[in-house]
């Protein structure tokens, strides 16, 4: 039996083209880049947009609830929320029943931004359709990605 050395071992599994992570990473970066011109018009970043979308669904939430919905740690979301507060898009307050909870609420300015942002998803889908991606394909991809996310959430982290 021939001994495997680093020079003779088959490392095809380490090729970029064989990785699941790379196309997901690249697609994410390209999607964010496609969103950016639309978000620049609103004066917000992509993570701020995601946070506002969560709040447009439910106008007041705790920091922990927002972090959970966005799959982020609270120490990641807190600086983002402080920037949104400085932009007067959200306000922070202590919970009435539990002062340890920080409540995040949309301001009038944050609520009014929803109208301007409402066209963004349609613009992106239209741009993707022009590239040959049908709504059916996009919906299928979205469902598959949700399945991947659910599977990844079940994995133990170090």
Give yes or no for residue 49 having a pLDDT over 60.
yes
Query: DSSP labels for 47-79?
Result: HHHHHHHHHHHSSEEEHHHHHHHTT--HHHHHH
Residue 93: inside a domain, yes or no? yes
d(CA 41, CA 93): 29
Domain that holds residue 106: 21-137
Give yes or no for residue 2 having a pLDDT over 60.
no
Angle at 146 between CA 111 and CA 138, to 5 degrees: 80
Q: How many domains does the chain have?
A: 1
Q: What is the CATH number of the domain that holds 107?
A: 1.10.10.10
The predicted-structure confidence for 106-145, as pLDDT tens digits, reads as follows: 999 999 999 999 999 999 999 999 999 999 999 999 999 9
Burial of 144 (0-12, 13-18, 19+ CB in 10 A): exposed
Over the chain, what is the mean pLDDT? 91
pLDDT at 97: 80
Residue 158: inside a domain, yes or no? no
The predicted-structure confidence for 4-18, as pLDDT tens digits, reads as follows: 556 656 888 889 999
Q: Tell me if 48 sits within 8 A of 77, measured CB to CB.
A: no
| CB atoms inside a 10 Å sphere around CB 70 | 16
């Amino acid at each position: 039996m021939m001994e495997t050395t680093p020079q003779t071992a088959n490392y095809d599994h380490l090729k970029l083209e064989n990785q699941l992570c790379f196309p997901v990473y690249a697609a994410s970066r390209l999607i964010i880049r496609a969103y950016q011109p639309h978000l620049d018009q609103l004066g917000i970043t992509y993570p701020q947009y995601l946070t506002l979308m969560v709040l447009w669904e439910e106008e007041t939430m705790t920091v922990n609830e927002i972090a959970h919905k966005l799959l982020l740690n609270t120490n990641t979301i807190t600086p983002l929320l402080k920037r949104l507060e400085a932009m007067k898009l959200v306000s922070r307050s202590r919970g009435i029943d539990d002062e340890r909870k920080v409540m995040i609420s949309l301001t009038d300015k944050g609520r009014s931004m929803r109208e301007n942002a409402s066209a963004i998803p349609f613009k992106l889908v239209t741009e993707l359709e022009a590239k040959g991606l049908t709504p059916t394909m996009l919906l299928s991809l979205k469902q598959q990605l949700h399945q991947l996310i659910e599977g990844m959430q079940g994995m133990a982290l170090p």
